[in-house]
Structure 1
Amino acid sequence: MLYNCTANTLILRTVTKKLLLVIVLLSITSTLYLALHSRTVYLVDYACFRPNSDLRITKATFLEHARLSSLLDDSIVNFIATILERSGMSDETCVPPVHHYIEPCCGLDEARSEAELVVFSVIDDLLAKTCIKRDAIGGLITNCSAFCPVPSIADMIVNKYKLRGDIRVMNLSGMACSASMIALGLASNMLQVMPRGLHVLVVSTETIGPSYYSGNKRSMVLSNILLRVGGVAKLLSTSRSKARFRLVHFTRTITAANNSAYRCVYQEED
C-alpha cells in the first residue's frame, strides 16, 4: 500500500494553521470579553463599630448636661428635650469621650483619637473575621465628612497596617451621609480595573467631636442631638468565594445644582 506523504504533510500543516488561528481568535475574544465585560462586585464581609459601655449616654444624662450648661437658653433646653423624645433613640447610644463633659471642648488631638478609636476598631474586627492578608488589599477608600486632618484618615490606616506601597487610595470629605454610597460606587469602579484577586477596603465614619455646637440656634443644635459615634469597614472583591452579598444595582443622582438640596446640610459659623 502506497501513501502520498506530500499531500498528507500539506493537509497536516493546513489543519495546524487553522487550529492556531482558532486558538488566537479565542484568546483575543476572551481578552476583549474580560476587558469590556463589567465584573460582578461582591461584599466579602463587614464590621460595625461596637463602643465600650463607658461611652454610652442616656437621654436623661444628655438632657441634664444641657440644663447644667451655662451656654444654652431654657428654650433650647426644651427644644432638646422635645427632639430627644421624638427621635426614637434608646438609652444605649454612644458619644465620644469629649461629649461626656457638661461643656464639651474638642481639639485636634481629641478628634484624632476619636477617629482612630472607631476606624482602627472596625478594621481590626474585619481583618479578624475575613482572615485576609494585608497584601491582598489593593484599594482603600475612606469617608468622613466634617473631620479632615493632615495626614488624612486614609494615610492613618496605611501607616497603622503597613499596607502595600502601590495601593490605590481615596479620602472623601465634606459629602455628609451620601459619602458612604459614593465610596461604594468608587470601590466598584476601582475593582473593574484592578488585578483579579485584590480587594478594596471601604471605611466610613463621622467624627462628631469637632462639630459640637454650643450655641442657641435650633437648626445647628440638631447635630448634637441626633448624631452618635459610629463607623463601618467593608471589604469588596470580584471573587464570589466567601462573599456574603452581591452588588446588583447602583445608581447615584447628584442634586447639588438644586439650591434647597445644596443647603440641606450646610456648615457655617453661628
Structure 2
Amino acid sequence: MLLHRLSTLMEEMGLNYFNSVIFSSSHYFIMVTVLGILVLYYAHRRKSAIYLLDFSCYRPLRSYRIPMSMFKELFLIDNMDPEAVSFQCRILEKSGFSEETSLPPSLARLPKRKSITFALEEAETIMYEAISDLLQKSKINPKAIDILIINCSLFCPTPSLCSMVANKFRMRSNIISFNLSGMGCSAGLLSVSLAKDLLRVHRNSLALIVSTEVLSLSWYMGKVPSMLLSNCLFRMGGAAVLMSSRAQDKHKAKYKLLHLVRTTKAQDDQSHGCVYQDVDPEDKEGVSISKNIVNVAGNALKTNITSLGPLVLPITEQFQYGFSLIWKKLWATRRSAGIYTPDFHKAFDHFCIHAGGRAVIQAIETNLGLKKQDLEASSMTLHRFGNTSSSSIWYVLCYIEAKGRMKCGDRIWQIAFGSGFKCNSAVWKCVCDVKPDMGNAWSDVIDSYPVQVPDFVKID
C-alpha cells in the first residue's frame, strides 16, 4: 500500500519522466563512448599514408665530364691494354651516352691510383650537395629528420656513410640510421620500401634517403670484356629523397606512395651470377656483367608484374590477360595462341625505367608494349648522365618534372633492376601540379631535350 502511494506520488511529481530522460542519456553516452573507441581503434590500425615531399639529384660539375676523346686518351696514356681501351670505346659509341656524362676527378688522374681517400671525397661531394639542396628546397632543419637511409652498393667505409652525413649536418643523437650495401642498382626502391615500413611504425616521422654509387674504388683496370662493361655503363650521380608520414605534410607533398612490389630471383643460379663482383686471372677486382642480363631482367620483370598487375590494372585488362594464359595452355601447339600484353597506359601516366643501358630500356619497351615517348625520360637520362645506378630512377622522374609534364592525379611507375637478381616496382600518385624547378639537375639543358640518339647496334 505504501509503495503504491509512493509510485502514485512520483508520477504526480513527474519523476518517471526524469528517470526516462536520465536512462536515455546514459544509453546515448555509452553509445558515443563505444563509437569513439571504435574510431580510435580503426585510426590506430589504419596504415599511415606515406608521402614524398621532394627530392634532389646531384648535378656534376662540367669539369668532371668525360667525353670519348678524353676517355681514350686517359687510358692509353695510363698504359691500359690497347685492346681493352678499343673494346670500351666501341661499347661507348653504341651506348647512347652524350659527351656530358661524368666521372669523379680521381679517375682522371695520371697515373691512376685507387685510394679510400678519393672514394670518401667522391661520396662526400655527391651526398652533401644533394642533401643540402633538398633541405634548402623543402625548408627542413636537419634535426627534424627521424630516419636516415643511405644505399651505396660497392663502397662501405667505417664509420659508415650514415655517420658521415649525421656528422656533417649535425643530426640528432636518436636518429634511426641504416646503411645498405651490395644491393645493386635496385637499392633506391629497396630504401623506399624500408622507409615506408619504418614510417608506419614510427608515425609522424620524416625519413631521408640517399642513393648513390662510388666509382673511385670499383673502376676495373684489367682486360676481361665482361668486367670492362661496368666502366662503360656507370657514371657519377646520386639523389636525396625526403619521405614523410606526418599528417601536416599532406598538403606539402608532391607524391603519395600507393604500392611497392619487390622481386628477387637469387634462388636461380643464372640470375644470381649475372652481375657479380670478382677478380680476374690477374687478380684485378671488377664487376662482371653477363650477356644474359637482358633475359634475366625480363624474367624478373614478368614475376614482378604478376604481383603488381592485380593492384593497378583495370579488371578488364586482368581478365584479358588471364584468358590469354588459359587459351595458351589449351592451344599451346598453335602459333596463333599468344599471351595478351596488358595496356599499362590504363594504369599509369608516366614510366620511370631504370636507365641501366639501351638494351634493357628497349627490351622493356618491347615486352610491355610501350611507345618511344613513354621511355623518353629514361633514354634521355642515359644520354645525359649515363647509368647512375640506384639514383637513375630519380633522374628520370626529375626529367619529367623539368618538362612540366607532371600533373595532379598522374600515376607514376618506377621500375628498378639490380644484382641478385632483383626487380622492384613503386607506384606513386602525384598530389599536386608540379612546377619545373629551375635549380634541378636538368634545368640547364632541358630545353635542348629530347635529342635524337642513333639506333642501337648489337655488339658481339
Q: Name the TM-score, length of structure 1 as normaliser.
A: 0.92
Which amino acid counterpart does residue 231 of structure 1 have in structure 2? G
Counterpart of 1:213 in 2: which secondary structure?
Answer: coil
Do the aligned residues in 2 keep the contact of 1:66 with 1:102 (CA within 8 Å)? Answer: no
Alignment of 1:87-236 (within 5 A): 87-196=95-204, 198-236=205-243
Maintained 8 Å contact 1:49/1:231: yes
- Provide closer, same or farther for how the CA distance between residues 5 and 229 of structure 1 changes in structure 2, counting only shifts above 3 A: same
Q: Is the 8 A contact 1:104 1:212 kept in 2?
A: no
Give the match's secondary structure for 1:164.
coil
- Matches of residues 53-64 of structure 1 in structure 2 within 5 Å? 53-64=62-73
Q: What displacement does 1:6 show?
A: 6.3
Q: How many angstroms does 1:102 deviate by?
A: 3.9
Q: Which residue of structure 1 lines up, in the alignment, with residue 48 of structure 2?
A: 39
Displacement of 1:12 in angstroms is 4.4
* Consecutive unaligned residues in structure 1, runs of 5 or more: none
Structure number with the bigger relative contact order (C-alpha 8 A, sep ≥ 6) is: 1
Q: In structure 1, what is the equivalent of residue 263 of structure 2?
A: 253
Aligned CA-pair RMSD: 1.8
**What amino acid is aligned across from residue 220 of structure 1 in structure 2?**
M
Letter in 1 for 2:257: L
Give the conservation status (yes or no) of the 8 Å contact 1:141–1:172: yes
Q: Offset at 1:7? A: 4.7
Could you list the runs of 4 or more consecutive aligned residues of structure 1 that deviate by over 4 angstroms after TM superposition? Answer: none
Cα drift, residue 218 of structure 1 = 1.1
Q: Deviations over 1:87-123 (max 9, x none)?
A: 1111111111111124321211111111111111100
Query: Hey, what does 1:49 align to over in structure 2?
Result: 58
CA contact (8 A) 1:204 1:231 kept: yes
CA separation of 1:13/1:246 partners in 2, compared to 1, >3 Å: closer, same or farther? same
Q: Percent identity?
A: 36
**Equivalent position amino acid for 1:261 in 2:** S
1:47 is paired with a residue whose SS is strand
Contact kept in structure 2, 1:141 and 1:170, CA below 8 Å:
yes
**Is the CA contact 1:43–1:243 (under 8 Å) kept in the aligned structure 2?**
yes
Q: Write the letter of the residue equivalent to 1:254.
A: T
- The change in CA–CA distance for 1:21 and 1:47 in structure 2 (over 3 A counts) is same
| 2:272 alignment partner in structure 1 | 262
CA distance in 1, matches of 2:203, 2:144: 10
Aligned residues: 267
For 2:218 and 2:95, how far apart are their aligned partners in 1? 20
Instruction: Specify which of 21, 30, 37 is matched with residue 28 of structure 1.
Output: 37
**Quick one: distance in 2 between partners of 1:27 and 1:104?**
69
Separation of aligned partners in 1, 2:250 and 2:221: 48
Aligned ranges 1:1-16 → 2 under 5 Å: 3-5=13-15, 7-8=17-18, 10-16=19-25
Question: Is 1:74 aligned with 2:82?
Answer: yes
Segments of structure 2 that go 5 or more residues without pairing to the other structure are: 1-11, 281-460
The amino acid across from 1:26 in the alignment is L
Deviation of the 1:211 alpha carbon:
0.4
Q: TM-score, structure 2 length as denominator?
A: 0.55
